[in-house]
Chain A
Amino acid sequence: MFVFLRTTNAKTMNKMRQNRNEKKSVVYALQASLGMHNEQMRKRGGLMLAVATVLPLLVALYHFLPGLVDSFTYDLIKLQPESHLGEAINFFFYDTIKILILLFLISSLMGVVNAYFPVDRLRVYLTTKKLYGLEYFFASFFGAVTPFCSCSSIPLFIGFVKGGIPLGVTFAYLITSPLVNEVAVAMFLGLFGVKATLIYAGSGILMGMLGGFVLGKLKLDKYLSDWVREVQANAMIENEKWEGEKTPFIDRLPIIIKDGWDIVRKVLLYVIIGIAIGAAMHGYVPENFFTEFLAADKWYAVPLAVILAVPMYANAAGIVPVIQVFVAKGVPLGTAIAFMMAVVGLSLPEATLLTKVMKWKLIGIFFGVITLFIIVLGYLFNLIL
């Protein structure tokens, strides 16, 4: 009995010691996490403060930009407002700054959307639910909000195929992805205004849907690369659980903003070159110069513009300022939009990227169908706009 008591006593003593140790370590951990917490809080506070000051400043700058640039070009460096040079320089500074602000804001906004867009859930959703055609819209819309880059497009394409999503729906994504991107939207918004931007983005999404639907009906699966066909044969409906994003928004913001800034930095040079060319043309090329070939009453204008544009590879940043001048000099907006779509939506680098997952024949059909659609769209816009 006594022995038993002693052992229990020793046991409890041990337990108590253990408890104390545990308590101690809990206290340490708490202190550590509090310390980290404090630092984190300070970081977050600083970040919020930075956003709260920079954002209104950008908006204010955007708002007062015309006046500022006017006083800069005409008062400070004393150029004549009526002169070609004065006009061109004014145009250049105004557009460059305006577009950089827009580009930064839109890239960051798209970054936020992207960070929270549930790709995996979308895939599960597309494979498991009967959507009566709405799946084309989802895939196309998804293409619009994600940035087009080799990093995401091919893995996503395979991911879709692997999940057993029909090829047509996958194509809907693949069409819209390069067509509607943050750079194109920012440039359109800055140079053509809200209405043209909405038309551009909306018709881009619509085209993804229609193009995907038509390509899906053509039964093109046999022209996929052999290894992709293997993946497709082993496709299964994955019902994996979707894992929500656990990192709080405020902690993800710095990287999102940095990404946004990286996009601006990457296209900065193209923006400047594009706008410089645009500004030069704006000031010097006479009205109606381009209309000789591309006017609305010339039936061949749209196909000519589109076919010229397909092999051209320029990013949206470089090409939109030039197109804006075309429009200002009398080329109809529909022709311009069709041209723009063909330049950014179909390009040789994209084709080479696609060779990894499909045979050349399929790439040819894909490009052909999209070219046709863009031409039809161009005519349509010229009729209704």
Chain B
Amino acid sequence: MIDFSSPRHRAKFGYLLLAPAVLMMALIIIYPILLSVDISLQDVRIARVGGDREPWTLENYDWLVRSGEFWNAVWVTAKMVLTVGGISLAIGLATALLVNQKFRGRALARLFVALPWAVPEVVATVIWAWMLDSSFGVVNWALLKVGLIGAPIQFASNATAAFFAVCFVMIWKGYPLVSIMLLAGLQSIPEEQYQAARVDGANVWQRFLFITLPSLAPVIGVTAVMTTLWVFRDFAIIYVLTQGGPIGSTTTLSILTFEQSFSFFRMGQGAAVGVVTLVICAFISRALVGRFANSVH
């Protein structure tokens, strides 16, 4: 019996505690990732573990580069990242600034402003699907009433409208996280900085531009990366709302991966799209991880 409380064996105890997690990660993350690379290099329709295997080939990656579907998905993902990221950041910053003001009932306002965070994605999507319904939806009713449109927008069948419908849901689900994180950032700015600026005669706008924004910049950067990765990864919102349609206008890389694998049962091709997505995400998250490493050391 090893006495773990003696200094000699303290490290062993540490590794022992770590073992279940490491083992588990190896089994359910690392092995599957290697397996998915393996699958992407085989011409398989439904992937299996063990048994006969196909020879390695670059066929799937060849398909990927040549097919319009992949490049369309890259384009859709990029557009979605910019739209959702930009608007979520704007709403998140605005709401964070608002509930950072001093007023009675502020705690309650903070609770409400980020409430959509607590609505499960599928539920949020279903609510918006109903609000954007082309015949009886409240959004079309309001737009018609105000006179902005002459005829109801067909959010389900119009490619551009469907894209923005997906963006609405994503922004609604995405801004609360931004708001919560930026509020934390705002709270860590020392009040003295504002007081000093006020003494120097800086107005509200100048204080925002020269104190708030620079202090928030690191948090904004991290939040932007997190939102970007979330749009890359998201499946539920797009799948439930449009299934990637119409005519691929909402098919992101994530949806294309799933569609190839589980709708068309071309898991080789699906895995190839997924592996490329993983590489792209890894490059994007380097920004985040780099920041993390800097703040640790």
| B partners with A | no
